[in-house]
Amino acid sequence: MRACVLVLASCVAWCVLAPASRSEHGPDGPDRWIQLFDGKSLRGWIPKIRGYKLGENYAETFRVQDGLLKVRYDGYERFDNRFGHLFYEKPFSRYRLRVEYRFVGTQCPGGPRWARKNSGIMLHCQPPQTMARDQSFPVSIEVQLLGGLGRGERPTANLCTPGTHVVMDGKLIKRHCIASEAPTFHDDRWVSVEVEVLGAERIRHYVNGKLVMEYFQPQLDPEDSDARRLLQMGFPKQVVKGYISLQSESHPIEFRKVELLPLE
């Protein structure tokens, strides 16, 4: 019964969001940016790692050191498909999210080849309490973060759609990942990614201030088993709001800024 109450409360939180307050500094005034990462702790964040219960931070995968939010695997012998996500505790609908990240070090042994210098910012996530214990990825919209591998093009801030679809150029897109127009960053420099999310209307990706991708009408994919389970629980097909999470996919990554500007 207690689990049912938790899931029901999460469902309500996913569907109801208080409007943002106004600011004397204007629509993007400095006093309205919310620092989701305080630079000192994981306060406000909840880990969910595949194979473990919600809240269990296996081997301190997610940690704060030197003022940075770090994803590390020094406590792993092998990755073994332990995909993880660090959820912020509150859902959002209309906002701008700004993240500064960099890839460091080498991939955890046993990580899939495609996950080298690969991570993501997950938007419009299902409530973390509704994830199955062995579920690899939340139903969400992913802003895929990629690092260059020394040669060739590998743009960052791409779109991936675990359990979802979007509309681009007036057409429903069912392809899982779509490349952005962002540059490739082969080294370990800090990269700024900003996402403008307008509920179910439109989502835009920016890299270092430049628009690199735009799409519309995020929605659940009824052919995906995890999304179908949400539909059976009563979630609407059109996704208008959800949780934000940061990914762990086997390659170390660091974040020095995670901030959000609510939009009315």
The domains found in the chain, sorted by start residue, are 2-262 (2.60.120.560)
Residue 50 has pLDDT above 80, yes or no: yes
Distances (CA, A) of 151 to 103, 187, 230: 16, 11, 41
Does the pTM exceed 0.85? yes
Rg (CA), the chain: 17
pLDDT of the residue at 28:
57
Structure-block tokens of residue 188: 């370990």
Residue 155 has pLDDT above 50, yes or no: yes
Q: What is the pLDDT of residues 181-226, one digit of tens each?
A: 999 999 999 999 999 999 999 999 999 999 999 999 999 999 999 9
Q: What does the DSSP assignment read for 162-231?
A: TTEEEEETTEEE--SEE--S-----S---EEEEEEEETTTEEEEEETTEEEEEEEEEEE-TTSHHHHHHH
Residue 19 has pLDDT above 90, yes or no: no
pLDDT of the residue at 252:
98
